[in-house]
Amino acid sequence: MRLLFLGDMVGKTGRTAVWNRLPGLISDLKLDFVVVNGENAAGGFGITEDIFLETINAGADVVTTGNHVWDQKEAVAFAGRHDQFLRPANYPQGTPGRGSGLFYARNGARVLVANVMGRVFMHPELDDPFKSAETILDACPLKEQADAIIFDFHAEATSEKQCFGHFVDGRASFVVGTHTHVPTADHQILNGGTAYISDAGMCGDYDSSLGMDKEEPLNRFISKMPKGRMEAATGPATICGVGVEISDATGLAEKIAPLRLGPRLAETIPEFWR
């Protein structure tokens, strides 16, 4: 199975780049399943229902989120209406929406996708992500109820991300870190067969500070005083993500490589898909 995960869409330039390029990528690369993190898609803060639906219409099978999931007030209302919209699973019981779901890939495979948020340097501090993952895996084990299992681990600390990867190694197909908006170079297959990367990067303008116009963040570092609102950068976007090839027999990863398309960062498409 061919899986593509695209990192946090940031603002209009990021989401538009994804919408424009994703249909062609699905066709050209013969993708079976696509997950996109959308928590920064609405001006850099949260996601609206229209943006969610447009992302699904472009070809995403699931849209994950993170700590900005509720920044747009309408998300509280629409979270429960769409199974393909995921908020972190370790929110307290009774939170609107869902944190995981079982979906069908284009090749008919059953794909469990779970969105979990870390706790180190993160706000709000949610329930234990490791216990949440254990509950999810117990309910839907790999190669029993699911042919592939994907975790979007939305977290700040790479140590927490790495430990989470080792925690589910051999029990999940792929653990992808999100939140820090900078693509890391540690894509690998762990000892137990789980594909892992600390951060997929963002889909947005890299002439920026994490996708935001760089002037206000720079001002705050220098003066320690805000001058105005943070605004999403509006320059040409680079799409960043990760491609994974998953064994139909075991549900574990066989190959992993970054995908980057656009200006500033070196363009790359996983060699095994060329």
Annotate 230-247 with DSSP letters as a single string.
--B--S--BEEEEEEEE-
Per DSSP, the three-state class of 28 is helix
* Choices 3.40.50.1240, 3.60.21.10, 3.60.10.10, 3.40.50.2300: CATH for 2-273: 3.60.21.10
Q: What is the largest CA-CA distance in the chain?
A: 57
Per DSSP, the three-state class of 241 is strand
The stretches of 60-157 forming alpha helices (DSSP H) are 74-78, 129-139
Q: Give 8-54 pLDDT, tens digit per residue.
A: 999 999 999 999 999 999 999 999 999 999 999 999 999 999 999 99
Active site residue 68: yes
Q: Residue 191 above 90 pLDDT?
A: yes
Cα–Cα distance between 85 and 99 in angstroms, integer? 8
Cα–Cα distance between 103 and 62 in angstroms, integer? 8
Reported as a pLDDT band with limits 50, 70 and 90, residue 274 is confident
Whole-model pTM: value is 0.98
Paired residues of 83 in beta bridges: none
The reported pLDDT for the residue numbered 226 is: 95
Whether 123 has a binding-site annotation, put simply, is: no
Whether 90 has a binding-site annotation, put simply, is: no
Q: Where are the domains of the chain?
A: 2-273
Average pLDDT score, the chain: 97
Whether 8 has a binding-site annotation, put simply, is: yes
Q: Give 92-103 pLDDT, tens digit per residue.
A: 999 999 999 999
Catalytic residue among 68, 82, 123, 187: 68
Q: Give 211-250 pLDDT, tens digit per residue.
A: 999 999 999 999 999 999 999 999 999 999 999 999 999 9
